């Protein structure tokens, strides 16, 4: 499950300004980012974004990746020498699926056909996510490193007064929880071979 800081990092990594050329005309559009359902940054779920927009909607969050869990969920143990406790680092590898929807007006604007405008903007965002987006390092505000994959090519539909084109991203990350356990200061073994 993404934290608000991780959502903000993703949003700021994406290209929101796009120049579209068509039939000798050129115009620059800035996508209005919107997290469906509202979020900690204050998006209001009762009002939609201005067009053109990029809308993010979670399909699944924090789903455990069963094929990639360490045994007993313990990845590492820090033995505090000279102390009576130890720290177990429990990890849970999780998957988050996010739908990304580009919405543009169905009307001609700046001499550019609506379907051309929608497709070119959506294709640019999709290509960026597929080939350039990199969240593999920890963020400045404690955001977890993540790897991602684009699950599908953009697909579109006409909606009421707008054209929407959507694709899906899958993020893989690790949740870490430190658990303090009682340790032992000394162990001795005896073996009887008789």
| Pick from 107, 106, 2, 104: nearest CA to 57 | 2
Residue 166 lies inside a defined structural domain of this protein: yes
**CATH number of the domain where residue 139 is located:** 3.30.2000
Tell me if the bond preceding 52 is cis, omega within 30° of 0. yes
Domain assignment present for residue 164? The answer is: yes
User: Is 68 a member of any domain?
Assistant: yes
Domain total for the chain? 1
In a domain, 48, yes or no: yes
Q: What is the pLDDT of residue 44?
A: 58
User: Per the domain annotation, does 41 fall within a domain?
Assistant: yes
Indicate the pTM of the whole model. 0.81
**194 domain residue, yes or no:** no
Mind listing the pLDDT tens digit of every residue in the chain (194 residues)? 899 999 999 999 999 999 999 999 999 999 999 998 655 555 555 577 889 999 999 999 988 887 766 666 777 777 777 777 888 887 888 999 999 999 999 999 999 999 999 999 999 999 999 999 999 999 999 999 999 999 989 998 888 889 999 999 999 998 888 888 887 666 677 888 87
Domain residues for the domain of 61 are 4-180
Instruction: Give, in degrees to the nearest 5, the angle at Cα 58 between 5 and 163.
Output: 110
């Amino acid at each position: 499950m993404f934290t608000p800081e991780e959502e903000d990092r993703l949003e700021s990594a994406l290209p929101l300004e796009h120049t579209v050329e068509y039939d000798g005309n050129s115009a620059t559009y800035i996508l209005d980012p919107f997290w469906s359902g509202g979020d900690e940054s204050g998006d209001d779920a009762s009002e939609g974004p201005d067009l053109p927009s990029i809308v993010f909607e979670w399909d699944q969050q924090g789903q455990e990746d069963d094929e990639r869990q360490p045994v007993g969920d313990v990845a590492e143990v820090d033995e505090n020498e000279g102390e009576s406790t130890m720290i177990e680092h429990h990890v849970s590898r999780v998957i988050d699926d996010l739908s990304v929807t580009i919405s543009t007006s169905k009307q001609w604007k700046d001499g550019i056909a609506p379907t051309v405008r929608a497709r070119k903007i959506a294709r640019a965002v999709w290509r960026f996510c597929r080939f350039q987006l990199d969240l593999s390092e920890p963020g400045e505000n404690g955001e977890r490193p993540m790897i991602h994959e684009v699950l599908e090519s953009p697909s579109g539909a006409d909606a009421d007064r707008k054209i929407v084109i959507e694709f899906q991203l899958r993020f893989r990350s690790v949740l870490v929880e430190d658990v303090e356990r009682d340790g032992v200061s000394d162990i001795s073994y005896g073996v009887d071979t008789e």
